[in-house]
Amino acid sequence: MNIRIIFCALLMATAFAACSQMDEDEAAWQGSETAALELNSDVEVRLSSGGLATRASIESKVDSFEVDSIGIYMLATDQIRTNPEEVAPIDWHDPRCIKIINEQANAEINDLTGATDLNWADPTVKYWYPYENWYAFRFYGYYPRVNDSDISLQSRYVEASYSELDGTKDIIWGQSKRADMNDATEKYAYSAQYFRQAGHATMYPNVAFNHKLMRIQFYIQGVEDENPGIGYEMANKMVLDSVVLYARNSNYAPGSWDGIPTTAQLVIADLDNPTNEGKLNINWDGDKSAIPMLDENDQPYVNKKQVNNGDLIKVGQPVLLPVPDAGAGTGFLYGAQINLKMVDGGNVVAKFNDASPLDLNLNNTTSGIQAGHTYRVIIKISGPQKVTLNATLTPWEEIDEEGFDDLDLN
């Protein structure tokens, strides 16, 4: 039997919801607590978060999202010089310059405001701005939080290492605004003195997150047979059995594919080179693995969808993948191995599992591949065509005048 699997031109889906630009003075918190602790001010550290657009990938509305296990850092970024004789150069190994270290927080939607609050996972945890106001601080958040053993904390650089990236892990990163040292008020952000300025009492830091991976969402759609009386009859017997993703670049021989990188490093903060902050560095030459498409909630793909005429049918949950960069190599492509089966009367009558991966020419999209975007891939499937052969045989023709010499046995 012969199966035709056609990938239509890849369409750029609507961009995955970007981080919210909610102003920090719009981030509402309920209640107020004050306390006086030694070496701390009476201003408690509270955080809010803009929306972002787990289970697998984090979904969001325009201005809200929810997810557990976000890692939070509170790092000094600028010297306020309220007490200049006491100010030391910023060094994140100095306890005066790092106040929150990889603390776990949860993003939770506030029922009253509809916005997202960042709440400490341990409800007994409280942090306070230091009373001396030597430094302005910035907040950094990332997800999923890793153990301290997977963190590289240097004097002015913080990095998290990820392993076992398997298409289900959404990596997000965000930061609050940085103090503006040229503004008489904003230079105190974020310190206890900042909140003592008129109108700033509830202008809590807003950590605006964004995605660091891309997503692929698969769909199936039938292809009509134009022969009279057939239409979608045969296509409608086809079921998508599985999808497995691979990768390759121009260094691979034609038809050869490899797995997809499973390890990466996320730059959480880089004081000396801020353009690096939030960069996800993929280990393109590291460990790799083929990545299967799964059902919702990271479950094996068992909700196998069947073609129904020309209907566009979503299959599985989106697959989260690294965004190709220069390290991926020239001519980089993702590929999808598509396995199908044919059913008739509820019974499987044939399986088609020997197809090679097909190119996903995502680079042909108008804007190129970008983090935080979902790319739609439509698998167009026609009905199987049974292989039928006709044969003819040319009759033997006897040659009288030309040939071998006669044999004389006398």
Per-residue pLDDT tens digits of the chain, which is 410 residues long: 333 333 332 222 222 222 222 222 222 222 222 222 335 667 888 887 765 544 456 665 545 688 899 999 999 999 998 766 667 899 999 999 999 999 999 999 888 877 888 999 999 999 999 888 889 999 999 999 999 999 999 999 999 999 999 999 999 999 999 999 999 999 999 999 999 999 999 898 999 999 999 999 999 999 998 888 889 999 999 999 999 999 999 999 988 999 999 999 999 999 999 999 999 999 999 999 999 999 999 999 999 999 999 999 999 999 999 999 999 999 999 999 999 999 998 899 899 887 789 998 776 555 578 899 889 999 999 988 666 667 767 777 666 555 555 455 54
Tokens of 296: 């919702």
Amino acid symbol at 347: N
84 cis-preceded (ω within 30 degrees of 0): no
Strands 172-175 vs 135-143: parallel, antiparallel or unpaired: antiparallel
Q: Yes or no: say if 293 and 315 are a contact pair by the CB < 8 Å rule.
A: yes
- C-alpha pair distances (Å), 93 with each of 5, 37, 148, 398: 57, 22, 14, 99
User: How far is residue 351 CA from its own chain's centroid?
Assistant: 32
Tokens of 200: 């700033």
pTM for this predicted structure: 0.82
- C-alpha pair distances (Å), 153 with each of 25, 74, 115, 269, 365: 31, 13, 31, 9, 38
User: How far is residue 6 CA from its own chain's centroid?
Assistant: 26
